[in-house]
A = this chain, B = another copy of it.
Amino acid sequence: MALIDYIRANIDDKFQETDLPFPVSDKSFAKNDIISDYSIVEKMVYFLESGIVQISLPHQNGEIRILDFFFSNSFFCSYSSLLKQQPSDVQLTAITDCKVKTIHYADLKKAYESSILANKIGRLEAEKFYLKRVKREKDFLTKSAEERYKDIMSENPEFINQISVNKIARYLGIHPESLSRIRKQQIF
């Protein structure tokens, strides 16, 4: 179980499956399934065991802007909506078939009252989300689309094979044709 391995690797190397401070369930999503939609109040936290998830925002003329991708072995959800328990302004979509573990936020909040492990997970994930957000904001201000393309390529080699050019362009905030030009100029 990938979640157990993730906790052992990141939080407690002696962790046993029976020590989980909240119930988890298995769920599968097919490619293109909406996991968490615009305007809903997020009630779930997901741990992605396999697959790729995109987080998107409505943009101009009915187009969408892709804010981020999540890969296997990471927690994800509509995080601002979860924390504030207010309607979400983002959408989470499975862009490949995905297997996830689901945790109800009500169960997580209950675990926060008395479990050090639940609080450690919550703290470390909040810190990661914060740093990811800061990096994205800084990269947009200081790096060209070409540099940001090189970054995602080197950080996520699986990116180019499983995500369409169109989606990567929407993530970089450029036209798909501009991305094609960048890709032709680069030697991999």
Contacts and interface: CB of A to CB of B under 8 A. Distances in A.
Interface of A: 79-80, 83-84, 112, 114-116, 119-120, 122-123, 126-127, 129-131, 133-134, 137
B119 A83 contact: no
If over half of A's interface residues share one DSSP class (helix, strand or loop), that class is named, otherwise mixed; here it is helix
Assembly stoichiometry (copies): 2
18 contacts: A79-B130, A80-B130, A80-B131, A80-B134, A83-B131, A112-B120, A112-B123, A115-B116, A116-B116, A119-B123, A123-B126, A126-B126, A126-B130, A129-B130, A130-B130, A133-B133, A133-B134, A133-B137
Contacts of A123: 112, 119, 122-123, 126
Contacts of A127: 83, 122, 126
Given A116-B114, A120-B119, A122-B123, A83 B130 contact: yes
Nearest to A80: B134
Given A122-B123, A126-B127, A133-B137, 5 more contacts: A79-B130, A115-B116, A129-B130, A133-B133, A137-B137
A162 to B, nearest CB: 27
Contacts of A114: 116
Contacts of A119: 116, 119-120, 122-123
Given A112-B123, A119-B116, A133 B131 contact: no
Contacts of A137: 133, 137
